[in-house]
Amino acid sequence: MQIKIGFGNMTKGNSRLTTRNRVRGVIPGKQSERENNEARINEILAELDKLIGLKNVKELAREICAYVKIQQKRLQEGLMAGPVVLHMVFKGNPGTGKSTVARIIGRLFKELGILSSGHLVEVERADLVGEYIGHTAQKAREQLRKSLGGVLFIDEAYSLARGGEKDFGREAIDVLVKGMEDHRNNLILILAGYREEMEYFLETNPGLRSRFPIHLDFPDYTVTELLEIAQLMLSERQYQLTEEARRELEKILRREVIFGHRFNGNARMVRNIIERAIRRQAVRLVGRANLTREDLLTITQEDLARLGLGSETLSLGTGVFQPEIPLPGNLRICYNNHR
């Protein structure tokens, strides 16, 4: 994926003042403060690196860090420095990490001096669009106000343009565009949604594409990545899988990726499976008199058996496949190792 970053007009005279507003921390402070700031930046980047996949996002974060640092050095040498436009479009299915990344980016931008607070305000159409004339502008401006100094993340942003010419969603778009300009030195706007819908949304609103120069794709996770996510979730909760349970989980994930719904939930699906397995483990253990630490840590194959796709059935097209019923002609499922 090619990442495009847009720049504002670069001028020498007043650029110091405008860029100083946009890229705070240019004036050298105490050595300890700079070191603490650098340490916090590295901690946030390390947190980003722990996320499974998302190579393009990690590359972008480091590009922006490098850009800000170089602009600081240019200003110290009396050279021109222009503000960078950082409004973004996140395209991908549910559960691919869009809101998680937005939250991390807000914190990173705060430490870089791009934003004053770095908090995340997550909204959808209902939070922006009103029910009568004038109501939409009021609601949209309120969300902009709450987002100042941070990131305004609009999920399913394409829904703002679905209602036709007379829909209030278009009014919300206009208010947001104006807010982007009025608060361009202290606000990042991120539009998020399904890939195809977001592409159509931007095509039908050509003025928006140029205002959002950074487009990030969040692809569906592969089976290997989903398994890594599951292991990470379990580790964070102090659980572990037996080898048989790990193989069972991998089988479930392959089945979900191949036969499941197109929008299977990705990491959210994994979280649901893990949480169900933990509840099953609790039921399995609650009646035992003597429990060891190992018992409390361990998720077994029994805890995962027949989980996924509604736990009992496996959707396949418009029909339903029940794993315990043999397929016609003694056919067997072949799990695709490439996903």
Helix, strand, or coil (residue 155): coil
CB 134 within 8 A of CB 103: no
What predicted TM-score, i.e. pTM, was given to this entire model?
0.76
List the domain boundaries for the chain.
6-218, 223-330
Per CATH, the number for 6-218 is 3.40.50.300
Of 122, 43, 136, nearest in space to 90 by CA? 122
Greater model confidence, 312 or 210: 210
pLDDT digits (tens, 9 = 90+) for 55-80: 999 999 999 899 888 988 898 888 98
Going through the chain in order, the beta strands assigned E by DSSP cover 6-7, 84-85, 88-92, 120-123, 151-154, 188-193, 214-218, 240-241, 298-299, 314-316, 319-321
Which two structure tokens, joined as six digits, stand for 305? 């058996």
Q: What is the mean pLDDT of residues 318-323?
A: 36
Cα–Cα distance, 58 to 305 (Å, whole number):
36
Greater model confidence, 214 or 320: 214
Please list the residues that pair with 315 across neighbouring strands.
Answer: 320
Q: What is the Cα Rg of the chain in Å?
A: 24
Greater model confidence, 216 or 210: 216
Predicted pLDDT at 210: 85
Q: Cα dist. 133→143, 170, 223, 271 in Å?
A: 18, 12, 48, 42
Q: Is CATH 1.10.8.60 correct for 223-330?
A: yes
Instruction: Give every CB contact of residue 210 below 8 A, 6+ residues apart in sequence.
Output: 6
Q: Tokens 């930046």 — which residue?
A: 41
Which two structure tokens, joined as six digits, stand for 18? 């405008």
- Mean pLDDT in the chain? 81
Predicted pLDDT at 82: 73
pLDDT digits (tens, 9 = 90+) for 1-56: 333 344 434 444 444 344 444 444 444 556 677 778 889 999 999 999 999 999 99
Q: Cα dist. 84→7, 43, 104, 234, 257 in Å?
A: 5, 23, 19, 39, 39
Q: How many C-beta atoms surround the C-beta of residue 280 within 10 A?
A: 17
Q: How many C-beta atoms surround the C-beta of residue 70 within 10 A?
A: 12
The alpha-helical segments, DSSP class H, found in 191-300 are 195-204, 206-209, 223-236, 243-259, 267-285, 293-297
Cα–Cα distance, 44 to 104 (Å, whole number):
7
Cα–Cα distance, 186 to 179 (Å, whole number):
11
Q: Cα dist. 68→20, 64, 101 in Å?
A: 11, 6, 19
Cα–Cα distance, 248 to 303 (Å, whole number):
10
